[in-house]
Amino acid sequence: MPELDSDLPRTPGMRLDDRVAVVTGAGRGLGRACAVALADAGAEVVLVSRTKDELDALASAIAARGGKARALECDILDSRHIAERIEALERIDVLVSNAGGNMPEPFVQVTEERLDRILDLNVRSAFLVSQAAARRMIAGERGGSIIHMSSQMGHVGAANRTVYCMTKHAIEGLSKAMAVELAPHGIRVNAIGPTFVLTPLTRPFFDNKAFRDDTLASIPMGRLAELEDIMGAVVFLASPAAAMVTGASLTIDGGWTAR
């Protein structure tokens, strides 16, 4: 029987046991899927949104399949909520800053009110939530992983999405700057850039055949993303398997931005 080669490297694991992961916008869609993925990998997940009923239902569903999760009702548009409820958590090892929104409309029709709302939701809240998480990670002296939910639109432009593209380009820049500044604390910061993902929020758009056909024509792989396509990437970036990955943007876009 041949002897085992003790010099062979060991593949890093993707388990997240004994880690606490915070997910914003966890009540539905991408945030819900990210929370499930992190819980499946062993993390205790703090589910954050304004919709407590949805969070309670998700926490129960995660517990029913052996995971750990708890609801944290919080309005991330309110800086006092962020300070009192997220920064006050005893421990944060992983943050998935997922909450965001979009209001597609022609550039010349964008009102100041809608501009401010999307900027507040997609940029200001992401900045303040990740700032609060970073403070807790620094205080804990265990390092950590911050993952911003960006978009393929953080790399390209698109008609009727000027505000959304602007905010996601901002998230890409924020992720890189945070990565450089927080690296000495052992905190990694990355972004994920999905293409269109089928969720209850996006599904109505694809009832429009012209929109669906135009979208699919831009994706070399010829299909929309499913929630499961995003879940593995979140676990990877949160895990020891990504120990040297920081300041990166992982596009999950079926080749959209490769053209």
What is the CATH number for 43? 3.40.50.720
Inside any domain, residue 9? no
Inside any domain, residue 10? no
Count of structural domains within the chain: 1
pTM, 2 dp: 0.95
Inside any domain, residue 122? yes
Cβ neighbours of residue 32 closer than 8 Å, sequence gap 6 or more:
26, 58
* Exposure b/e, 18-33, CB count within 10 A at least 16 = b: ebbbbbbbbbbbbbbb
Phi, psi angle pair for 165, to nearest 5°: -60, -45
In order along its 259 residues, the chain shows pLDDT tens digits of 556 667 899 999 999 999 999 999 999 999 999 999 999 999 999 999 999 999 999 999 999 999 999 999 999 999 999 999 999 999 999 999 999 999 999 999 999 999 999 999 999 999 999 999 999 999 999 999 999 999 999 999 999 999 999 999 999 999 999 999 999 999 999 999 999 998 877 888 888 889 899 999 999 999 999 999 999 999 999 999 999 999 999 999 999 999 8
Beta pairing, strands 44-49 & 187-194: unpaired
Closest CA to 193 of 217, 164, 220, 216: 164
In this predicted structure, what is the pLDDT of residue 3? 64
Inside any domain, residue 166? yes
In this predicted structure, what is the pLDDT of residue 6? 74
Gap between the Cα atoms of 150 and 122, Å rounded: 9
Inside any domain, residue 45? yes
In this predicted structure, what is the pLDDT of residue 26? 97
Is there a catalytic annotation at residue 52?
no
Closest CA to 68 of 32, 44, 46: 44
Structural domain for 186, as ranges: 20-253
In this predicted structure, what is the pLDDT of residue 43? 98
Is there a catalytic annotation at residue 168?
yes
Inside any domain, residue 175? yes
- State the catalytic residue, choosing from 52, 164, 176, 209: 164
Inside any domain, residue 123? yes
In this predicted structure, what is the pLDDT of residue 207? 87
- Cβ atoms of 74 and 49 within 8 Å: the answer is yes
- State the catalytic residue, choosing from 52, 68, 168, 209: 168
Inside any domain, residue 12? no
